């Protein structure tokens, strides 16, 4: 019945001129064709389409069959003959239909797909879409750009497989689809390459721009969040293959080096809305950062790379990209930022980076980003790695650079643990200055005295929260103990004996007062808890406790006592080092006075 209806419409249209086809004819053809497909008469429909007599009809009306055809292809199983007939119909339509009409029909189909069928639909329609685009003469560049933008917009919401198992399963088909899209672009890349030598026609320039936009989008998604390390058991890593192809396209259209070194972004539209302009700028920054990671960490396209740049220049060039990556929160992106930073630093010799590099904003901002990762990131391996990279960064600076960086980090980190770590580094640099033969003006004399003013102080005097600042305080006391032992009071190199009065006034005395107040407070708390527990006749009463201004989770009285005793232990530890420092100062001061008496 469906086939008869279709034949009737075909016979009616065969006697009409192309210009005489009416809207009603299109609708009847679409309904009858759709019914043939749904009723299982795909073979008969294929015969109608292949019939030379129907060429004009199919050219004008065939594109209407795309939507029902795609539905039927997904409905039939892989080995079903009807599916094979449907695929052949799709191929025939690509050959016979009006390219402009079919192009719009294919794009509409891609736009309407969603969820799990996105990748399947895109992969199904790539070949006919490519065939149609190659036939277009007018607005080819625009049409290629529109196709790639539509495809990438549909793929972007899909989650990127990250673990080895996810990549192997490729549940939604994203890995396979991305590489299919790259293959889809190859004829257009070849066209640009072929014409680059011969002319600078507007269409060729525009086609190149569209391919560049596609590469930039691909760098942001999926490559920015993709796992790109070599994985054991995966012979050809799909995302590594995709990355290689993207780098190859950029090289072929002569945009790789301009992108890497000139930060070329292609023709950006002028946005009247500032919000859109900011989004465009951020997307571009993400893409360029990913490109740097691919080149300098994974070494994609390294054979194209000019070997003329110093390690310090490469670090300077990459600091902006490192900053972009480290400001993200996703593990996959953060780890790329850390890897890129580490890779740049490992190229450099220790003590080779001059202080003036710290005049570049990124050289101050990036260490602060590292500090945030060290203190706030929930992933332990990234916290540890960021700490190691911070130390690597410190090691690369000359002594003036280290001095300047230490001052900056002490003022900006706002974290006692980080400040304690920096103070330990300061102690190591002072030790080197005192034990090496050559003069080191930055960690001795008046420069060091200025630095010690920052280190040997309490943020809020005697009322400083000693528990919260215990890491910094312990590091400061250990540094002071080292200086008192190592430096000679009669010929002081560090200046500690010259500024001792100030240190006692700003650090030691307030610390002693603060310790006494804190210990008294916590001892009183312990006494209260013990009395309350006796009154309650048990230790399982649940209540809350506040430590360093933060309310802790609900705890039993026994647990609270444990926490309070732990705080007292910390105070005892600080007090023992403080007592040792005071004793050393007293002994050395007395010895000097005895000498002069």
> What pLDDT, on a 0 to 100 scale, did the predictor assign at position 294?
96
> What pLDDT, on a 0 to 100 scale, did the predictor assign at position 548?
53
Predicted confidence pLDDT, tens digits, the chain (597 residues): 677 777 777 776 666 666 656 666 677 777 778 888 888 888 888 898 888 888 888 888 888 889 999 999 998 887 788 899 999 999 999 999 999 999 999 999 999 999 899 999 999 999 999 999 999 888 899 999 999 999 999 999 999 999 999 999 999 999 999 999 999 999 999 999 998 877 655 557 899 999 999 999 999 999 999 999 988 888 889 999 999 999 999 999 999 988 887 654 444 455 455 565 566 677 889 999 999 999 999 999 888 877 788 999 999 999 999 999 999 999 999 999 999 999 999 999 999 999 999 999 999 999 999 999 999 999 999 999 999 999 999 999 999 999 999 999 999 999 999 999 999 999 999 999 988 877 788 999 899 999 999 999 998 888 989 999 999 999 999 999 999 998 887 778 888 888 999 999 999 999 999 999 988 888 887 778 777 766 665 545 555 656 555 665 667 777 777 777 788 899 999 999 999 999 999 888 887 666 665
Q: pTM, whole model, 2 decimals?
A: 0.88
Distance of alpha carbon 320 from alpha carbon 475, whole angstroms: 33
Q: Which 8-state DSSP code applies to residue 397? A: B
Distance of alpha carbon 85 from alpha carbon 93, whole angstroms: 12
> What pLDDT, on a 0 to 100 scale, did the predictor assign at position 274?
59
Closest alpha carbon to 495 in 434, 565, 435: 434
Answer yes or no: are the C-beta atoms of 348 and 312 closer than 8 Å: yes
DSSP 493-540: SSSTTTTHHHHIIIIIHHHHHHHHHHHHHHHHHHHHHHHHHHHHTSS-
Phi (first) and psi of residue 534, to 5 degrees: -60, -40
Phi (first) and psi of residue 233, to 5 degrees: 95, -10
Distance of alpha carbon 131 from alpha carbon 147, whole angstroms: 13
Count Cα neighbours of 236 within 13 Å in the Cβ-side half-sphere: 8
> What pLDDT, on a 0 to 100 scale, did the predictor assign at position 382?
97
End-to-end CA distance of the chain: 125
Closest alpha carbon to 10 in 37, 47, 63, 41: 47
Distance of alpha carbon 85 from alpha carbon 83, whole angstroms: 5
Answer yes or no: are the C-beta atoms of 45 and 5 closer than 8 Å: no
3: how many CB neighbours lie within 10 A of its CB? Answer: 17
> What pLDDT, on a 0 to 100 scale, did the predictor assign at position 267?
46
> What pLDDT, on a 0 to 100 scale, did the predictor assign at position 34?
84
DSSP element (H, E) containing 550? strand 550-551
How many residues in the chain?
597
Distance of alpha carbon 572 from alpha carbon 582, whole angstroms: 15
């Amino acid at each position: 019945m469906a086939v008869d209806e279709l034949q009737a419409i075909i016979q009616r249209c065969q006697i009409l001129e192309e210009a005489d086809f009416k809207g009603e004819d299109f609708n009847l053809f679409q309904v009858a064709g759709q019914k043939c497909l749904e009723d299982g008469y795909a073979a008969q429909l294929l015969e109608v389409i292949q019939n030379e007599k129907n060429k004009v009809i199919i050219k004008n009306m065939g594109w209407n069959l795309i939507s029902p055809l795609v539905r039927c292809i997904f409905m039939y199983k892989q080995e079903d003959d009807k599916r094979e007939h449907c695929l052949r119909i799709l191929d025939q339509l690509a050959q016979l239909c009006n390219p402009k009409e079919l192009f719009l029909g294919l794009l509409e189909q891609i736009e309407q797909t969603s969820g799990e069928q996105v990748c399947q639909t895109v992969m199904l329609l790539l070949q006919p879409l490519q065939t149609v685009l190659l036939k277009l003469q007018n607005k080819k560049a625009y049409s290629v750009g529109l196709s790639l933008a539509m495809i990438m917009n549909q793929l972007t919401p899909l989650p990127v497989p990250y673990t080895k198992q996810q990549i192997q399963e490729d549940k939604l088909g994203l890995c396979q689809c991305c590489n299919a899209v790259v293959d889809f672009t190859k004829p257009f890349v070849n066209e640009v390459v072929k014409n680059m030598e011969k002319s600078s026609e507007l269409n060729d320039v525009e086609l190149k721009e569209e391919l560049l936009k596609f590469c930039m989008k691909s760098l942001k998604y999926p490559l920015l969040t993709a796992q790109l390390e070599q994985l054991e058991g995966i012979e050809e890593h799909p995302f590594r293959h995709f990355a290689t192809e993207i780098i190859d396209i950029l090289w072929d259209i002569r945009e790789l080096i301009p992108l890497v070194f000139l930060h070329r972004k292609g023709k950006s539209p002028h946005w009247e809305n500032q919000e859109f302009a900011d989004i465009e700028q951020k997307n571009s920054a993400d893409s360029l950062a990913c490109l740097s990671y691919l080149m300098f960490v994974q070494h994609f396209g390294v054979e194209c790379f000019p070997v003329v740049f110093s390690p310090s220049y490469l670090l300077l060039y990459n600091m902006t990209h490192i900053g972009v990556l480290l400001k993200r929160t996703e593990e996959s992106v953060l780890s790329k930022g850390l890897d890129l930073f580490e890779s740049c630093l490992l190229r450099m010799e220790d003590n080779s980076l001059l202080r003036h590099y710290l005049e570049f904003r990124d050289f101050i901002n990036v260490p602060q980003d590292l500090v945030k990762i060290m203190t706030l990131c929930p992933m332990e391996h990234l916290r540890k790695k960021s700490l190691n990279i911070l130390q690597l960064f410190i090691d690369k600076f000359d002594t003036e650079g280290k001095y300047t960086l230490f001052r900056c980090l002490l003022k900006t980190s706002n974290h006692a643990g980080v400040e304690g770590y920096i103070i330990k580094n300061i102690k190591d640099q002072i030790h080197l200055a005192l034990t090496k033969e050559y003069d080191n003006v930055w960690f001795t004399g008046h420069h060091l005295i200025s630095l010690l003013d920052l280190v040997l102080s309490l943020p809020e005097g005697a009322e400083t929260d000693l528990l919260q600042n215990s890491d910094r305080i312990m590091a400061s006391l250990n540094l002071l103990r080292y200086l008192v032992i190592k430096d000679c009071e009669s010929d002081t190199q560090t200046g500690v004996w010259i500024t001792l009065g100030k240190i006692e006034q700003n650090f030691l005395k307030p610390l002693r007062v603060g310790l006494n107040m804190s210990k008294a407070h916590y001892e009183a708390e312990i006494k209260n808890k013990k009395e309350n527990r006796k009154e309650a006749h048990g230790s399982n009463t649940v209540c809350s406790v506040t430590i360093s201004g933060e309310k802790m989770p609900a705890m039993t009285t026994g647990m609270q006592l444990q926490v309070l005793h732990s705080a007292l232990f910390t105070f005892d530890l600080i007090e023992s080092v403080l007592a040792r420092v005071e004793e050393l100062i007293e002994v050395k001061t007395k010895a000097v006075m005895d000498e002069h008496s």
